[in-house]
Amino acid sequence: MDIFGVISLLGGLALFLYGMSVLGSGLERTSGGRLEKTLEKLTNSVLKSVLFGAVVTAAVQSSSATTVIVVGLVNSRILGLRQAIGVIMGANIGTTITAHILRLADLSGGGFLLQMLKPTTLAPLVAVIGIILYMTARKSSHKEIGQVMLGFSILFTGLFAMEAAVAPLKDVPEFTALFAKFQNPILGVLVGAVVTGIIQSSSASVGILQALSSTGMITYASAFPIIMGQNIGTCVTPLIASIGASKNAKRTAVVHLSFNVIGTIVFLIGTYTIQALIGFPFWLDPIDKGGIANFHTLFNVVVTLLFLPFTKQLEKLACAIVKDSPEDMDSDDVALELDERFMRSPGLAIQQGRKIIVKMGFLAKENFVSAMGLMRHYDSKKVERINEVEDMLDRMEDRLSAYLLMVSAQELSEKDSRAVSELLHVVSEYERVGDYSVNVMEAAETMYQRGSKFSKAAQAEMDTIGQAVYEILDISVSAFESEDVQVATNIEPLEEVIDLMEETLKDRHIERLRQGKCTPDAAFPFVEALSCLERIADHCSNVGTYIISHEGEKDGDFDRHEYLRMIHKGETEHYAEHFSAYEKKYYDRIALAED
């Protein structure tokens, strides 16, 4: 092979690897992270874990990507180590789908349908359809389908280029002698592991081997150990990803390596024992793409079936290799859940961000309830807890905002991009709710230090508006957690009632102060607390609007300000009905109460 042949081979390899990348990322965005989300719903059933692992890997076309995501899930304590073992086993099976796609290049026959299915015809046809969709489609989902089709075509274009570049090698004796050496199982396994470790994809290295098989110089004897070694080489990526992770995340990567190394040893012993005692009639025959794909699948399925009863032993082995040490225990749950390994799957990263915001919402509710309780009975222990929670909210906002900005820098679908924008807005809303709860606490502290108290009427009014604000806060958190637009539409009418209550209560409190029914020492804390409650309701209103607008933007343009103008004018039946209900529930209680 001359220098031009080498350039053609490398160019074909570049196209092949790029095609795999485009195909995998396109499939990932098309799934919108849904496949990865199923990993969280796994039960203790190892068989179910294996099935999910196989399906997810077949979809994203990379066992390395799946295993890295699993390392992140274990690091975040979403998956246990035992569950992760099943997913890893399934990932090894799912990754074999690529080889079966590439074997289509060996289709032969003269029928029209068969000719259309041949990659030499199908790849260009799919490329034409893909580029039309990618360039002309308005919906992002259609563009992503176009990208998947382009990736498929580029994959085969690279394969054809590699086959054409290596075709002259079939007449080179040195090439035949080189692959004859790979019949040594140890050497074959090492070559397969090293090549796969360098390109970090067993699917890609198997594809390269399939391209080389077109020369007719690769036998079953030399291909078998190389394929086994490729499964070991793919462990490099998860091992790198586990650096700096929790103990269980490191153990997950170790399980992946142990499973493949032990499986390779067992399969090597079994294969070469049978060959020595009985002999395979095809052992020295040339292997084709289909034979490589079949053996790749057979090896992974058999090894998985062999190890299914021994998941506990694999777990113990990993724990023995990566031992517990008290000084290395993880302490920051937020840092664990916002794992950068999820950047491989933006849909999953966004889902993790959403979970943290829900936690922020519940913490904000906790602080609000505690702060309102201080208005009746001051408790220094509650003050300490409020300050602790406020510190947590501040840290969560800082880390989550930085994390979401990292996610936004990834290649996102239009839907995911909108989701990141929504989360960035909502995270600041709940942080501000926490701030205003602290302000309420400070108002209570001021009263305690001065030895002042609200009158019975003022305390009853504060309790009533506090109940209304708690309800709107509860609705906003529930609506955000469930992504329920219908629930979110209940927020705005309650927010308007709270605005009305705040204005009325300020006026009445000023009148009480003028009449001497309330001391000046209690006047400022009362008015300050009212303002804080009204602002908390405003932030809940913003959360509701973001939820509704996020859903509305899926179907077209959504004008947030027009939406607010329309409902405030009472132009929607739902708004008018709920405003009336909340008015009777809360406003009428203070309006009809005796001062």
Q: pLDDT digit string (tens) for 421-440?
A: 888 889 999 999 999 999 99
CA distances from 397 to 103, 425, 431, 434 (A): 50, 11, 7, 11
Give domain limits for the chain. 3-107+160-321, 345-591
Report pLDDT digits (tens) over 142-190.
777 888 788 878 877 776 777 677 666 655 666 556 656 777 888 888 8
pLDDT tens-digit profile of 351-384? 888 888 999 999 999 999 999 999 888 888 889 8
The rounded distance, in Å, linking the Cα atoms of 488 and 581 is: 16
Quote the pLDDT of residue 180: 61
Work out the percent of the chain whose per-residue pLDDT is above 90.
12
Report CA dihedral (536, 538, 539, 541) to the nearest 10 degrees.
130
**Which of 533, 521, 368, 532 shows the shortest CA–CA distance to 447?**
521
Residue 442: which residues within 8 A CB-CB, separation 6 or more?
none
Tell me if residue 591 falls in helix, strand or coil.
Answer: helix
- Report the pLDDT value the prediction gives residue 409, as an integer from 0 to 100: 82
d(CA 276, CA 283): 11
pLDDT tens digits for range 391-400:
888 888 888 8
Q: Which two tokens stand for residue 523?
A: 């006047």
Q: What are the DSSP calls for 494-536, one per residue?
A: HHHHHHHHHHHHHHHHHHHHHTTSS-HHHHHHHHHHHHHHHHH
CA-based end-to-end distance of the chain: 99
- Confidence class for position 473, pLDDT limits 50, 70, 90: very high
- Give the pLDDT confidence score for residue 555 in this predicted structure: 47
Residue closest to 206 by CA, chosen among 362, 329, 95, 94 = 95
E strand or H helix at 439: helix 414-450
Give pLDDT, residue 327.
41
Q: Which of 279-283, 476-480, 520-524 has the lowest mean pLDDT?
A: 520-524
Q: What is the residue type of 541?
A: S
Percent pLDDT > 70 in the chain is 77
Distance of alpha carbon 163 from alpha carbon 158, whole angstroms: 9
Average pLDDT over residues 571-588: 82
Superfamily of domain 345-591, CATH level 4: Phosphate transport system protein phou homolog 2; domain 2 (1.20.58.220)
CB atoms within 10 A of CB 476: 33
Confidence category of residue 284, pLDDT binned at 50, 70, 90? confident
Residue where the block lists tokens 């274009």 = 157
Question: Considering the entire predicted model, what is its pTM?
Answer: 0.59
Q: Which pLDDT band holds residue 116 (cuts at 50, 70, 90)?
A: low
